[in-house]
Amino acid sequence: MAHYWGYGDAGFLLDEIWVGRACMPFSSRLKRSMQQDTVLFRPPSAPMFSNPRLIPLALLITAPLALGQEWTAPDGQALHWFGYSVVSDSGWQLAGAPYETGLGPRAGAAYLRNTSNGEVTKLQAADGHAGQRFGWSVDLNGDILVVGAPATNMESGAAYVFHGGPGGWEQVARLDGLPGHVGDGFGSSVAVHGDRVLVGAPWNRGAGPEAGAAFLYERVAGVWGLREEFRTAHTGPGDAFGNAVDLSGDRAAVGAFSDNSVVFNEGAAYVFDLKGPEVVLQARLLEGEPRLNARFGRALCLDGDLLAVGASNDHAPDLRGGSVTLFARELGTWSEVQSLQAPDLASGNAFGFSVDLSGKRLMVGAPAANAGQGSAYVYESFAGQWLFTVEPELTGLQVGDFVGADVDIQTPDPVIGAMRDSGLAWNAGSVHRLLPAHWQAPEVVTFCGCDDGPPCGTGPGSSRGCRNGTGRGAHIGIEGSTSVATDDIVLRMEDLPAGAFGFFWMGDASVRVPMFDGYRCVHGGAQGIVRWAPGLADRAGVLRSGAGLVALSQGMGTSLVAGTAWCFQGIYRDPSSPCGSGVNLSDAIWVTLVP
């Protein structure tokens, strides 16, 4: 997840923002090219930061809301930016409104919603004051929540820890990046997992102006204390190390979206091991093709052995469309799995402005999409390949809402922040609470088109299969249902030459490798490849196979059963094929079978 703050009041420009679970002014940057990757550690500058005398402000302020309803702050007003930061966990939804004015201009507040009854509690810092931007960053894990306020005390910053549950929530600690300096931005990003809290201070000057640092706190005997202040040997002036942070198990991830080593400001992400007595660097990760000012590391999410990193200004193949790169750890090594872009590949989407992972599901925010209306995109992993599955259809959207400023895909209560929604008041903000229909993958997902053109390099690209003798690309789909009980699924391939000979094959994994005039997308995986009976396309160029495929599969050593997903593709003869092989292929689909 990632949260951003613009210095100007008149507009929210992507070039003038505080970044990450962090705030980042794009002032002039001092850079250097130190290449070492060992970790630097500093001893805790103060042992404990719990203060039982702090009295929290936690007020129950609203009645239950209907499920699926857009959520706005009950006392929301213009320019509060409610929904700038969002998180969902264990029956609670938390949203920050860093410009809320209850304790003074831009004092900020956070709103906690109980999903079981819809009651909303407003949280403010016990020592809240004007300008602190409480709610800039938020995180929630079980009965612990953390709220960042990076402009507390002349922008040295603070983070506030609350404990609670259905009976109420209480502020138990204020965390500070002591000694703290004006402009550190401590609390720009926060993460909590179990007995650990990680706080980013992207403008900390320990390694130079605006170099950044991260602070790890642990709860021991009920008291929160500083364990380590850390950065890396590579961290230098202007890197903004700590603009985004996350925790998962015994690992931490930290973004440094202004880091550079290959090109200027390409950004980097770091993964640390927390198991031992010292924090140890596991990996420094860069984009596969680092690009100038891509802002890689602006947002990130760590989920076990998987890490998603957003680069909201990535500019290839389009200009500033953004990207998200997924990394996985196998045999002790982190490596790139896949790079994703928005399905429409539009310029200036800010795709990757926010990200969240949950198991085999990924949500990406693109708040500048659709002329600033914003959007979010859901991806799912099929046999290790991440495919776009759905763009939640939300109601009441308008240009300038910035939907996707922050996202959380934790089921069953995913949320999307839209801090410039003006339905309640100008830029008051809102949070979209998603229903299953918004985020669950369809039973049939199309992928593996010929977007880059055929393997022979001639002809235009196609979102379907590669162009054939008809001038079009073949497209696969299904007729009937995906139910194994009814067994009425029919595979359908269209836009073939009339009378073309062809057949369908399937596997439980996928690839994308050149084959004849197109690309083979089916891989055998653990079950092997199954080829269905061949046939001829009709006069309209349509070839069908089925029904009864479930029953047929029982005798083939590969059974189509409910709950499994299979990759299907068509292959056919094409005497007039542009590449001259005489054979071409359709695009492919993943089909998830239901009872």
Question: What would the DSSP string read from start to end of 27-78?
Answer: -----------PEEEE--SSSB-B-TT---EEEEEE----TT--B--TT--T
The pLDDT score that the predictor gives to residue 61 is: 58
The pLDDT score that the predictor gives to residue 17 is: 37
Per-residue pLDDT of the chain (595 residues; tens, 9 = 90+): 433 333 222 233 333 333 343 322 222 223 332 333 333 333 333 333 444 334 445 665 554 544 457 999 999 999 999 999 999 998 999 999 999 999 999 999 999 999 999 999 999 999 999 999 999 999 999 999 999 999 987 778 999 999 998 889 999 999 998 777 788 999 999 999 999 999 999 999 989 999 999 999 999 999 999 999 999 999 999 999 999 999 999 999 999 999 987 788 899 999 999 998 999 999 999 998 888 888 999 999 999 999 999 999 888 665 668 999 999 999 999 999 999 999 887 788 999 999 999 989 999 999 999 888 999 999 999 988 999 999 999 988 999 999 999 999 998 899 999 999 999 999 999 999 998 888 889 999 999 999 888 898 877 788 899 999 998 999 999 999 999 999 999 999 999 999 999 999 999 999 999 999 999 999 988 888 899 999 999 999 999 998 999 998 887 777 889 999 999 999 999 998 888 899 999 999 999 999 9
| Residue limits of CATH 2.130.10.130 in the chain | 5-441
| Residue limits of CATH 2.60.40 in the chain | 445-592
The pLDDT score that the predictor gives to residue 411 is: 86
Q: Are 12 and 23 in contact (CB under 8 A)?
A: no
Q: Most distant CA pair in the chain: distance in Å?
A: 82
Torsion angle of alpha carbons 188, 193, 198, 200, nearest 10°?
-30
Architecture of domain 445-592: Sandwich (2.60)
The pLDDT score that the predictor gives to residue 3 is: 34
Q: Are 121 and 59 in contact (CB under 8 A)?
A: yes
- Give the residue from 139, 93, 130, 394 showing the smallest Cα distance to 247: 139
Superfamily of domain 5-441: Integrin alpha, N-terminal (2.130.10.130)
Q: Where would I find the H helices in 103-240? A: 152-155
- Give the residue from 177, 224, 226, 167 showing the smallest Cα distance to 52: 224
This prediction's pTM:
0.87
The pLDDT score that the predictor gives to residue 34 is: 30
How far is the CA of 521 from the CAs of 45, 446, 529, in angstroms? 55, 11, 11
Torsion angle of alpha carbons 390, 395, 396, 399, nearest 10°?
10
